[in-house]
Structure 1
Amino acid sequence: MSNISKYILFTFLLLILYSCSNTRYLQDGEMLYTGAEVKVEDTTMSRRERKDLEAQMEELARPKPNRSFLGLKIKLYLYNIAGEPKKDKGFRYWLRNKVGEPPVLFGQVDMDYNADVLQSHVENNGYFKARTSADSTSTGNKKVKAIYTVKPKWQYKIRNVEFPKDSASTQLDSAVARTQRRTRLRKGRPYDLDVIKDERDRIDQRLKQKGYYFFNPDYILVRADSTVGDHQVDMKLIVKKETPEKAQRQYRINNIYIYPNYSLNDSRDTIRAKTTLTDSTQQYKDFTIIDPHNTFKPLIYDRTLYFHKGDLYNRNDHNLSLSRLISLGTFRFVKNEFKVNDSLNNTLDAYYYLTPMPKKSIRTELSAKTNSANYNGSELTVNWSNRNTFKGAELLSISAFGGLEVQMGGQNKGYNIYRVGGETSLVWPRFITPFPVHSPSAFVPKTRALVNYEYQKRIHLYALNSFRSQFSYLWKEDATKEHQLNVFDVNYVSPNNVTDEYQQQADSIPSLQRVIDKQLIIAPSYSYTFTNTNRKYKRHTIYYKGSVEVAGTLSGLVTGANAKKGDTISILGVPFSQYTKTEHEFRYYMRLGRDSKLAARVIAGIGVPYGNSTELPFIRQFFSGGTNSLRAFRARSVGPGVYYAKDSDGQPLEDTFLPDQSGDIKLELNLEYRAKLYSIIHGAVFVDAGNVWLWNKKDDKPGGEFSSGFMDQLAVGTGLGLRLDLDFLVLRLDGAFPIRNLNYNTNRYEWVIDDVKMGSKTWRKDNLVFNLAIGYPF
């Protein structure tokens, strides 16, 4: 089918859908409600201000009309064509009540109520003399739209703001007066009820920092006087006379009680009674700890709790203490309360109730995987954890794994992959340093030591032994910023059992030889992550991760290694790698509607070998193509540059163990539109582009080096995706094909959109790539 025929068919289908009017299913006298239109009539506003105000008020009108897509009310149409089912089950019932949407009728609209809501909205924004009227108009074919006309007239501005005097008669009035410097009520700004509410909350938060534990925003009254003339308003903040006495007092912390073995089945009154049992209590600094089994060292409370005896109550310290206790990862539930001490005036006793997780646990995971290199397989992981190894909330984890990946396609099958290995890590909930380091974050800083081993066997090819040892610091500034510093990171890779079949190929293809070369990497690194994507209702969210890795610098300086001059230095018989590498990933998400969003990603990385290396070690190089990369291309098959592997006749190599193509520089761009189709079923349309390049020119990889024309060497693919989104798990199937690919005859990347032939079995076999994966690609 030609492209013109497709467009004609698509247009014809649209016309059919439009011709199926939903209004013909309405009863006599019923009218379909098509929504509300708000008209703001004001000559003093700018066009942008008027449009913003109209958009705000249109969102307030209720009810909402039936949802539409490209002007089609598809859900309403499905509801209508399903008809009235005879029983509460079956396909027609499901289509009508689960997929479809009943009509929103004009009779359901209370126009007077909506007019009152709009009137209140404009008054709350300072238009005190506004007038709102409501009407309706027929749009034809039994459809009605509500029209609301708002005449706001003048918007009142703030002339003066008066706080209590700092020398006021009461301590609370003086405390409120000292919050004025950061007030949100500013002279010249419009009157706004929401800003007034925010100001009361701000004052409450400030007072909570100064010990006013029982204060709340309702005790602040903001009086507005709009009679001062010239469309202005004077504001006066006062503390209500009926404010309770205890809300006017500052409180200090007295006793601090900690119950590290609290059971949710026990009442707190019963638990608190245990404080009188001297054989079950321990005094450590300012803390009274009721832990008869000595489950935890008292030191962990000194590191996590911000309160000490005699401190003025502070809401920040209150929240930070709870957050740090939770971030220890040792307690299942963390609760606390403050009670007034009856024997000491204006003091609070703090109680912390901590329910620990089971100290030891074992978890087994079985996963399935597939990729665009025709490998399918599974992996079994067994993990044993001890969450309180040395009674200081240390986390010891020991895991073992084994997996199999079977090659399901290609010219020759049987090049399967077996993986076994294990990892041991120990995490301390603090910085282990020669000198004390204080962290003011709500998250406990961590120190991690890790040892890892993996054995990988590729049948008929080779085997690899990989060892890794790491010592790291991990800390979070807040919920959006995270850091990781690997001060010690050593990776050693050694091959064995290399077959003659593989070695013969490796002798002629250096890329294959590099896979089985011994590698020694001593590379401290640092990474920084920022994300606000957990704010679900924010329209624009971003994710950024940047990292820098410096390998072999000290060793290179000491030994004076220079690989370009032939002075390659080895440690224990293995040349150590020397390079600097940095990688940056940026993601942007924009909510387009309730059930749709636009997601974009940019990855840029560069590695510069020097000293003892002329190129990055294979396991540290960049790759492109695959399930979470360029989905229209086989995993690790793109690049570098315009290079492609050739056989002895100079033709593109199509062997089953085609070398994984790698590079020192990477650029990748991804754009994806995501939309909810039905319930947990989501769809996507995406475009991916990218490539990798070499830093230094290589005779064995002509065209692989980075040049000023790198943008002309981007591979591009597009496709569609289906996702089963269960919140805790996302199953993804993406189908993609290239639209810009390398032409082996011209050694150039060229657009191949005109070559797309979905109806051709041969084209589909050569170009369609399916990716089955868990989780979103980004």
Structure 2
Amino acid sequence: MKKNYHTYFRYLFSFGVASVALSCSNTRYLKEGQMLYTGAKIKIENDTLSKNEKKDLQTALEANLTPKPNSSFLGLRPKLYFYNIAKEPKKEKGFNYWLKYKVGEKPVLLGDVDREFNKDIIENYSENKGYFNAKATYDTVSKNKKAQVIYTLRPGARYLISNVKFQKDSSLVNQEIQNLTGKTLLKAGKPFDLDVIKTERERIDNGLKEKGFYYFHPDNIIVQADSTVTKSHNVELNVKLKDNTPDLSTQQFSIDKVIVFPNYNIQDVKNGKYKIPMEADSLQKYAHEDIYVIDPQNKFKPKIFDRALYFKKGDLYNRTNHNLTLNRLISLGVFKFVKNEFIVSDSLQNKFDAYYLLTPRELQSLRLEALGRTNSANYAGSELNLNWTHRNFFRGAEQFKASVYGAFDVQIGGPENAKNIFRAGSNVQLSIPRIVAPFRFNSSSAFVPRTNISLGYEFQNRTEYYTLNTFTGSFGYNWKENARKEHDLKIIDITLVSPANVTDLYKQYAQNSDALQRVVQKQLIFGPTYSYTYTNTMLPKTNTMYYKGTLDLAGNITGLVTGANAKKDKEKEIFGIPFSQYAKIENDFRFYHKFNEKTSLATRFIGGIAYPYGNSEFIPFSKQFFSGGSNSVRAFRARTLGPGSFDPRTINDGFYFDQSGDIKLELNAEYRANLYKFLNVALFADAGNIWLVNDDPQRPGAKFSKEFLSEIAVGAGFGLRLDFSILILRLDLAMPLRIPYYEKNDRWAFDKINFGDSNWRRDNLVLNIAIGYPF
């Protein structure tokens, strides 16, 4: 222990010396009279503000100051160092140019700082926040060719709102403004804040847009502040329409005609404005509800526009229906561009026509994909996909997709008996942009609900072992409440697995393994599945999250009707095939924290359980959980981890097969950083395992028990991510830190790490090559 202490001390001392040297080395490149700007500090002198108020004001002010000093890490400025050591390049390319101007960072000097400008920013910002008597000064502190600017702010007392008046008059627009005052953001007793006033003007504008005032603008409202009519440090606000508000902004408009051009050519845009097609001069009503569809080629059924358009003749204009209509037209998936124009048709009655100018996408596409891949289970292979898509199959924006594919995976190392795998199959999908059901489904969402139907077949051959024929089919619905919440309900989801050509060799291996025997048993799985997804990761927030919960119920009603009980009687069959009965739930929760534009922390938790009952003693192999691999615990090869503390090395003299379980727990954390444009790095740690619900004598330690925490596997590693926009190539190198099938008191592997040993590296370093992020 003493030896380790001295070793750590030497490392710390060396780091400290290097830090000082690197820090000093940056200033020696400065010219005579130049000083490196190290940043600004703001001091606030005010006895009436609380500690938190001072901190919030200080943070906001510092964020507005310019320029920012050179970026630093642990007190060092490595980017500035690279800029200094790189020679001035002769051309705008090459290693020196890349090192100096792409990796490096030009020094920010004291001479670059406009201190008077920053002082004005501090005073103006403070006044906008209610500190009307704010005064600022500045001073410069320099030492060893480094300079810091210290700004001192004396904000005085903050002005509070004493009263808010909404000026009244007899106009219609004013009456509507008065109806909006109940939810005003301007409250007596609250501090004066210019940002809140701007938000209040936008709130009023949004409210008026819902009442037909299409041409209104937030700038039509003025908020007057008077600090002379009340006691000291108080201000009275008066909200009113500007005297020069255009008359058009005060008029309430309604819809006259709704006109749709579903074959509009985007090239007709001239000088940034859309040209209304001439066909509008001789309209013919193609659909009910006073919607006119100008479609001479009859490419689209007019009924799809009845469901997508929220405006009808006589409706008062409102922004909600305006945006909902545009979003629903886009979510149909058949239009590449969607443009909306409102043109006044009757100025006396304040009516305008709503034009929808829609540019369709290519209705059909054929795509051929060739993929090469490798995985941590020692397989490499290729896949060929041919996909045909029709986006308007029955002229109602129905999307029809058909694909055929073939793939092979060749063993390139690892277990001797893993063998090669060949897959081929096809599937068809039809997505209808409405809910096809005997009941009425009303959705006010911006997203069109869909009915999805799919059929598929896959042939899988595991060389020298067996062949599996898998048939799938499903019917269900998908709908989104909003951009964050999505539901996917499959009323029926059917899977039929039919094995063939099971070889004597496989039967020999499976003779003493129930798990291997179940892989080649006929399986009939049917029932409803439901998943709910919530995400706000698309928002520009520091903290975002993603959650997906899935519920899978197979054979439940059939099992109840037939009185199935596999533990007491023979399994019930349909068409000579036992049907599966189980309940399965899985939860996937992810949390993302953004430190800045280039660094972030991503975490994920997965928890799931599948419980067999009634007609089944076991969960079908295809529906079980797996662990290990490029998107799981990356220090263990794909599908080799678990279940529990079971040791996979004991299987039939090295015979390899996927390890599966009924329970899964997994936790991942990943620190991500951008180094240069397309080059990203990550440090990650993964922990997790799978378990069985019931005992398996052939896999001791596989059942879930109170000892499950001691059976958690842990791994960590380093990754490179090459972001080429069209795809992200990921390379993750991981090693196990905790191995659950070792002896209970010897599962942590820190003392076994030996990078100098080639045998250790071969057995413990796992390279995962994948496309996209793991989560």
Whether these two folds match at TM > 0.5 is: yes
1:187 Cα deviation after fit: 1.7
Among 410, 428, 433, the alignment partner of 2:432 is 428
1:632 pairs with 2:635: yes
Among 209, 229, 232, the alignment partner of 1:230 is 232
The separation in 2 between residues aligned to 1:92 and 1:265, in whole angstroms, is: 45
Among 761, 766, 769, the alignment partner of 1:769 is 766
Cα–Cα, structure 1 residues 95 and 86, in superposed 2: closer, same or farther, change >3 Å?
same
Among 132, 135, 139, the alignment partner of 1:135 is 139
Q: How does 1:335-414 map to 2 (within 5 A)?
A: 335-342=339-346, 345-412=349-416
Q: Which residue of 2 aligns with 1:211?
A: 212
The separation in 1 between residues aligned to 2:457 and 2:445, in whole angstroms, is: 34
8 Å Cα contact 1:547-1:583 kept in structure 2: yes
1:706 pairs with 2:695: no
The separation in 1 between residues aligned to 2:189 and 2:368, in whole angstroms, is: 63
8 Å Cα contact 1:511-1:661 kept in structure 2: no
The separation in 1 between residues aligned to 2:683 and 2:746, in whole angstroms, is: 23
The separation in 1 between residues aligned to 2:514 and 2:226, in whole angstroms, is: 83
Alpha-carbon deviations, 1:450-495, whole Å to 9, x = none? 0011111111221111110100100011111111000011101111
1:700 Cα deviation after fit: 2.5
8 Å Cα contact 1:281-1:292 kept in structure 2: no
The separation in 2 between residues aligned to 1:333 and 1:308, in whole angstroms, is: 22
8 Å Cα contact 2:715-2:734 kept in structure 1: yes
1:653 Cα deviation after fit: 5.5
- Higher alpha-carbon deviation: 147-156 or 302-311: 147-156
1:636 Cα deviation after fit: 1.0
1:113 pairs with 2:117: yes
1:748 Cα deviation after fit: 6.3
1:13 Cα deviation after fit: 5.7
8 Å Cα contact 1:414-1:459 kept in structure 2: no
8 Å Cα contact 1:511-1:659 kept in structure 2: no
Among 491, 504, 522, the alignment partner of 2:495 is 491
Find the residue that maps to 1:317 and give its secondary structure.
helix
Find the residue that maps to 2:740 and give its secondary structure.
strand
Q: Which residue of 2 aligns with 1:751?
A: 748
Alpha-carbon deviations, 1:78-111, whole Å to 9, x = none? 1110132344433222211222111000001000
Alpha-carbon deviations, 1:560-594, whole Å to 9, x = none? 00011134111112111111111001000001122
- Higher alpha-carbon deviation: 103-112 or 222-231: 222-231
Q: Which residue of 2 aligns with 1:200?
A: 201
The separation in 2 between residues aligned to 1:465 and 1:62, in whole angstroms, is: 66
Alpha-carbon deviations, 1:354-387, whole Å to 9, x = none? 1111221111112222111011111111111111
1:698 Cα deviation after fit: 2.5
The separation in 1 between residues aligned to 2:348 and 2:435, in whole angstroms, is: 38
The separation in 1 between residues aligned to 2:151 and 2:593, in whole angstroms, is: 31
1:346 Cα deviation after fit: 0.3
AA matched with 2:221: I
8 Å Cα contact 2:509-2:652 kept in structure 1: no
Among 518, 521, 526, the alignment partner of 1:517 is 521
Q: Which residue of 2 aligns with 1:275?
A: 280
RMSD: 1.8
Unaligned runs of 5+ in 1: none
Among 464, 483, 498, the alignment partner of 1:479 is 483
- Higher alpha-carbon deviation: 79-88 or 33-42: 79-88
8 Å Cα contact 1:136-1:147 kept in structure 2: yes
The separation in 1 between residues aligned to 2:669 and 2:442, in whole angstroms, is: 42
Q: Which residue of 2 aligns with 1:723?
A: 721
Q: Which residue of 2 aligns with 1:56?
A: 60
Cα–Cα, structure 1 residues 197 and 119, in superposed 2: closer, same or farther, change >3 Å?
same
Alpha-carbon deviations, 1:134-167, whole Å to 9, x = none? 11111x22000011111122111111111134xx
Q: How does 1:243-392 map to 2 (within 5 A)?
A: 243-266=245-268, 271-277=276-282, 282-342=286-346, 345-392=349-396
Q: How many residues align?
A: 766
Q: How does 1:662-677 map to 2 (within 5 A)?
A: 662-677=660-675
Cα–Cα, structure 1 residues 748 and 298, in superposed 2: closer, same or farther, change >3 Å?
farther
1:44 Cα deviation after fit: 2.1
Among 567, 575, 593, the alignment partner of 1:564 is 567
AA matched with 2:676: Y
1:122 Cα deviation after fit: 1.1
The separation in 1 between residues aligned to 2:609 and 2:111, in whole angstroms, is: 64
The separation in 1 between residues aligned to 2:411 and 2:339, in whole angstroms, is: 52
Q: Which residue of 1 aligns with 2:155?
A: 152
Among 75, 78, 94, the alignment partner of 2:98 is 94
Cα–Cα, structure 1 residues 411 and 469, in superposed 2: closer, same or farther, change >3 Å?
closer
1:43 Cα deviation after fit: 2.0
Cα–Cα, structure 1 residues 301 and 7, in superposed 2: closer, same or farther, change >3 Å?
farther
1:232 Cα deviation after fit: 1.6
Cα–Cα, structure 1 residues 613 and 121, in superposed 2: closer, same or farther, change >3 Å?
same
1:615 Cα deviation after fit: 1.9
Among 594, 619, 623, the alignment partner of 1:620 is 623
8 Å Cα contact 1:714-1:749 kept in structure 2: no
1:645 Cα deviation after fit: 3.8
1:281 Cα deviation after fit: 6.2
Cα–Cα, structure 1 residues 502 and 299, in superposed 2: closer, same or farther, change >3 Å?
same
Q: Which residue of 2 aligns with 1:503?
A: 507
The separation in 2 between residues aligned to 1:123 and 1:570, in whole angstroms, is: 79
The separation in 1 between residues aligned to 2:91 and 2:638, in whole angstroms, is: 51
Q: How does 1:726-737 map to 2 (within 5 A)?
A: 726-737=724-735
8 Å Cα contact 1:712-1:749 kept in structure 2: no
The separation in 1 between residues aligned to 2:85 and 2:659, in whole angstroms, is: 54
1:6 Cα deviation after fit: 8.2
Find the residue that maps to 1:751 and give its secondary structure.
coil
State the TM-score, normalizing by the size of structure 2: 0.96
Find the residue that maps to 1:523 and give its secondary structure.
strand
Cα–Cα, structure 1 residues 338 and 274, in superposed 2: closer, same or farther, change >3 Å?
same
8 Å Cα contact 2:593-2:602 kept in structure 1: yes
Q: Which residue of 2 aligns with 1:580?
A: 583
Among 555, 560, 571, the alignment partner of 2:558 is 555
Alpha-carbon deviations, 1:733-775, whole Å to 9, x = none? 000000011344x356721112111121111111000000000
The separation in 1 between residues aligned to 2:765 and 2:464, in whole angstroms, is: 28
Cα–Cα, structure 1 residues 76 and 645, in superposed 2: closer, same or farther, change >3 Å?
closer
Q: Which residue of 1 aligns with 2:678?
A: 680
